Amino acid sequence: AQSVSQHNHHVILSEAASLELGCNYSYGGTVNLFWYVQYPGQHLQLLLKYFSGDPLVKGIKGFEAEFIKSKFSFNLRKPSVQWSDTAEYFCAVNDDYKLSFGAGTTVTVRA
């Protein structure tokens, strides 16, 4: 079964700073990769997904992620964060019938 590692447990940033969250999964083959976000008090929402093709995928709210097959990585980026990006972010990998999730990264953006 896949295991998913998110490098940071908690990240604290100021507004307009750039954000990068690391995600690595355990083994190769055909993978489908996802980033989900959970804003305080809300349900998990899909930020972006990778199935195939261009390894640089763009999602909602200015987020993007890069799939690097050789590194088993799918890192999330945003060039300039806003206070409203304060949330918990989860990386997930499609593992046969299910999703395997990372432990999550809490992002706090200071105004």
> Residue 65's closest CA among 97, 25, 99?
25
Q: Does 43 bind other proteins (CB under 8 A)?
A: yes
44 binds other proteins per the rule CB under 8 A? yes
Residue among 25, 34, 72, 74 that touches other proteins (CB under 8 A): 34
Extract the tokens encoding 27: 């083994």
Cβ 110 to other proteins shortest distance, Å: 22
Residues touching other proteins: how many (CB under 8 A)? 24
Instruction: Report the alpha-carbon angle 97-77-58, nearest 5.
Output: 65
| 101 contacts other proteins (rule: CB under 8 A) | yes
Q: Is 13 buried (19+), middle (13-18) or exposed (0-12) by CB count in 10 A?
A: middle
Is 74 a residue that touches other proteins (CB under 8 A)?
A: no
| Smallest distance from other proteins to CB 49, Å | 6
Other C-beta atoms closer than 10 Å to the C-beta of 18 total: 10
CB of 105 to other proteins, least distance (A): 10
